[in-house]
Structure 1
Amino acid sequence: MGGVLATDDSPRKVWTPETKIEAKMVEAMKQRESKGSSMRSFNTIILKFPKIDESLRKCKDIFEQFDEDSNGVIDQEELKKCFNKLEISFNDEEIKDLFEACDINDDMGMKFNEFIVLLCLVYLFKDDPQALRAKSRIGMPNLEATFETLVDTFVFLDKNMDGYVSKNEMVQAINETTSGERSSGRIAMKRFEEMDWDNNGMVSFKEFLFAFTRWVGIDEVEDEDEED
């Protein structure tokens, strides 16, 4: 994941998307960022964790419904059926691109947290006519409100509105909340490292989403299921 730093005649370095999905993600996020964020501090985000956690866990029923062979993952064929059921109109190539983008283990099976990330990307893309096409909204108002909160959070973190969150932007966001606290820098670094899983110094919306599912404990849901 990630791109390359363009070092042409531009006065500042620009992060270039590496894949079509990442480019669509960045473009859709820039359009959303032009509207601004309602978030005022990182504490505002943290206070929303319990409600977000509750909403995302309700996706488990949807996930299990479309995991037809009950093996704990959704494959591409099952995902196609899922999209048809949710009235999300993507062609085979778009579904393949999305699947591969969210299947971070490259095991051809989408786990629950990966499925949540995919649905949130669908939500992000839905209003962009040049991006992946959706015939209708996901159809779950509460879930859409949760996805909007996640998008709004990323907009708050991405101060320069380039579609990525840098280490400096994360530090700035944390410092706005914990101004004067000696530990604020360490907190920011820890949060950023949790998001930047490919260690390239820039965090995409997808990376942010995967980190967020861990922060609210979605990974623990999977661990509990495996133990059962």
Structure 2
Amino acid sequence: MGGAVGKVVSPKKEWIPETKLEVKMVEAMRRREAQGTSIKSFNSIILKFPKIDESLRNCKAIFEQFDEDSNGAIDQEELRKCFHKLETTFTEEEINDLFEACDINEDMCMEFNEFVVLLCLVYLLKDDPATLQAKSRMGMPDLEATFETLVDAFVFLDKNKDGYVSKNEMVQAINESGERSSGRIAMKRFEEMDWDKNGMVNFKEFLFAFTNWVGIDDNEDDEEVEEKD
């Protein structure tokens, strides 16, 4: 009846999303996963780090545009205005859910790396042409390709295409690179992604880890130190 599916016995299949936003993320990712990925190895993802880093930093101008009081963070009201300017069709509830999901340090403000993650989630959740055109009008014409690369990377890692990356899938992905210490590397990378320590990584967690991997947070701090000196 189910063929290969019937042979797979995994608690991962029974994983219950914790929020309505997570349900939408997982559904959107599964639809995207049905299209496959062009990425063939974890090493090829690493090679894209510099280009992705540069592209994400170009979001800084967008971030500053919506940070109306120039305090280095975007609050909920500023985010609502941001969505209206992007001409997206998000409801008030969806905007609040996105804000809450990306406000990792729970300070009711969105810092730059949190804003980058939010934009990528918007890309995943709202992939209709009208929304993409609106993003381009806001000065983000090159970001779609970067966000698509990040989606592609997640699709590559999620071997069973259920919208989550497990520890075993991370090990499998990094083993394919052929590095001797691949098991240890896989565990470290997975722990960096699984920040709530529930054994499963959704796209949002992957994105936060990725902003650390490419060094957005570190470099932002360095720039601040240089300005003070």
**What does the per-residue CA deviation read over 1:91-141, in whole Å, with 9 as the maximum and x for residues that have no partner?**
21111111001001111000000000000000001137xxxxx95212223
Deviation of 1:142 (Å): 0.9
Deviation of 1:225 (Å): 5.1
- Pair 1:43–1:11, CA change in 2 (3 A): closer
- Pair 1:225–1:103, CA change in 2 (3 A): farther
SS of equivalent residue, structure 1 residue 141: coil
**One-letter amino acid of the structure 1 residue matched with residue 38 of structure 2:** S
**Cα distance in structure 2, aligned partners of 1:98 and 1:197:** 18
- Pair 1:78–1:225, CA change in 2 (3 A): farther
Deviation of 1:149 (Å): 0.1
**What does the per-residue CA deviation read over 1:17-67, in whole Å, with 9 as the maximum and x for residues that have no partner?**
010000000000000001111000011101110100000000001101111
Deviation of 1:68 (Å): 0.8
What runs of 5+ residues in structure 2 fail to find an aligned partner? 1-7
**One-letter amino acid of the structure 2 residue matched with residue 12 of structure 1:** S
Task: Please show how residues 47-126 of structure 1 align to structure 2 within 5 Å.
Answer: 47-126=47-126
- For residue 213 of structure 2, the aligned residue among 209, 212, 215 is 215
**Cα distance in structure 2, aligned partners of 1:15 and 1:226:** 41
Structure 1 partner of 2:159: 159
1:136 aligns with 2:131: yes
**Cα distance in structure 1, aligned partners of 2:74 and 2:215:** 20
Structure 1 partner of 2:204: 206
**One-letter amino acid of the structure 2 residue matched with residue 91 of structure 1:** T
Structure 2 partner of 1:150: 150
Deviation of 1:87 (Å): 2.0
**Cα distance in structure 2, aligned partners of 1:19 and 1:50:** 33
The answer to whether the Cα contact below 8 Å between 1:112 and 1:222 also exists between their aligned partners in 2 is: no
Deviation of 1:145 (Å): 0.3
Deviation of 1:226 (Å): 4.4
Please report the RMSD computed on the Cα atoms of aligned residues, expressed in angstroms.
1.6
**One-letter amino acid of the structure 2 residue matched with residue 29 of structure 1:** M
SS of equivalent residue, structure 1 residue 177: coil
**Cα distance in structure 2, aligned partners of 1:153 and 1:183:** 21
**Cα distance in structure 1, aligned partners of 2:113 and 2:63:** 10
TM-score by length of 2: 0.88
Structure 1 partner of 2:5: none
Deviation of 1:224 (Å): 3.3
Structure 1 partner of 2:33: 33
**One-letter amino acid of the structure 2 residue matched with residue 24 of structure 1:** K
Structure 1 stretches of 4+ with a deviation exceeding 6 A read none
Which has a greater percent of helix? 2
Number of equivalenced pairs:
212
What runs of 5+ residues in structure 1 fail to find an aligned partner? 1-9, 129-133
**What does the per-residue CA deviation read over 1:130-165, in whole Å, with 9 as the maximum and x for residues that have no partner?**
xxxx95212223101000000000000000001000
Structure 1 vs Structure 2: percent identity of aligned residues?
76
Structure 1 partner of 2:16: 16
SS of equivalent residue, structure 1 residue 16: coil
